[in-house]
A and B are shown apart, each in its own frame.
Chain A
């Protein structure tokens, strides 16, 4: 069922910019249109580009904000590394990034 919804209606998560738009809805309570426009503006692409996996795969590589096929891109930012870069790119607070920073740097 998850597959069916994803293919029918979903942005596609890390295949595109779905996780980034999702963060804006969750963290700032932005409605979808506003969240898409915010992310498109930050990424300097059109709103339609946000759901294009061809455009977004290249852009995610350029911005180093996490890719699906990590084995094809050794050395690329993964997981917590990518989240540090996403927080900076979108100008948002990410809770686990702040926690990680506190753990490394100290209180």
Chain B
């Protein structure tokens, strides 16, 4: 029996037998199907995934004609992260001219809405210049990051300190206060950026602090869409499952805790999002084939349930991409091809 070289979720190289590969693909899709109560991948889809992982090439790609839109997040932050010392406007030009980006995102290195508020005029001035010097669509992006509203950095008592003390009611009240502060800040910053001319706003890692984080974002999106009906809004999630840190929060009568991507997108669309980005976290102790089969299963159900474009998050640690700062191209290209050609999404 042939051996297949692939990766684990942490990026390490591993050798699988063909039988192991088939088993991992079946178990990955089965895990998603069971958790999300969604269809598993079909035999043909699993066979296609098997082919993607069993061919020996270092790099694979979609077939011609299947290309999708790549909406990159945190462009200016990522150029800075690797120590290339350009101004943020030049970072956008690098993505536009050298990295083949279809859309790009301007952002602050402290990548949350709250820290941008006190320096908003500096952000606006840079964004306005960036828009004069770029051709492709430009988002302004940041994270809702509800955790930044807790003491000592913010005004609210930290619910994560209240919960272990059994103070459930008090923890819920704290999260409800955090929501109010976060919505105000997100609407303020997003409005300023849109007045400065950006094409859209990206809410990145939505739901990272659980259901309160998701609700704050939905409320902010709703307010912004009413205020600016033409605004492009992307809601990108933090994970495939909304954690019930509060447990009783609802939007439009739907409880947020426990939602998977095919249900998350319904609410994002109701609030006014124009693009939805599901995120499926990579498990480091499972193989990349397992992770990709799982991620594609969730993303496919999401895409089939969405009349708005779906752009799966495929950065480090999501969408089947390994959890490592420099993911190997053999793993990234396979995850990319699988997500596009099996989940049939509108972008990544």
Contact = CB atoms under 8 A, between A and B. Distances in A.
Q: How large is the interface on B (under 10, 10 to 19, 20 to 34, 35 or more residues)?
A: 35 or more
Interface in B114-163: 131-139
B181 to A, nearest CB: 27
B41 to A, nearest CB: 19
Nearest to A68: B97
B332 A18 contact: no
A41 to B, nearest CB: 17
Given A5-B332, A10-B102, A96-B131, A29 B275 contact: yes
Contacts of B132: 79-80, 96, 100
Contacts of A42: none
B197 A51 contact: no
Given A26-B275, A80-B131, A95-B198, A1 B321 contact: yes
Contacts of B199: 23, 26-27, 94-96
Given A6-B100, A7-B59, A22-B103, A12 B67 contact: yes
A44 to B, nearest CB: 19
A32 B103 contact: no
A95 B135 contact: no
Contacts of A31: 307-309, 346
B54 interface: no
Nearest to B329: A4
Interface string A3-37: 11111111111110011011101111111100100
Given A1-B315, A11-B102, A48-B64, A25 B333 contact: no
Contact of A22 (B95, B136, B340): B136
Interface of A: 1-15, 18-19, 21-23, 25-32, 35, 47-48, 51, 65-66, 68, 78-80, 82-83, 86, 93-96, 99-100
9 contacts: A9-B61, A9-B348, A22-B137, A25-B275, A51-B67, A80-B131, A94-B199, A96-B198, A99-B197
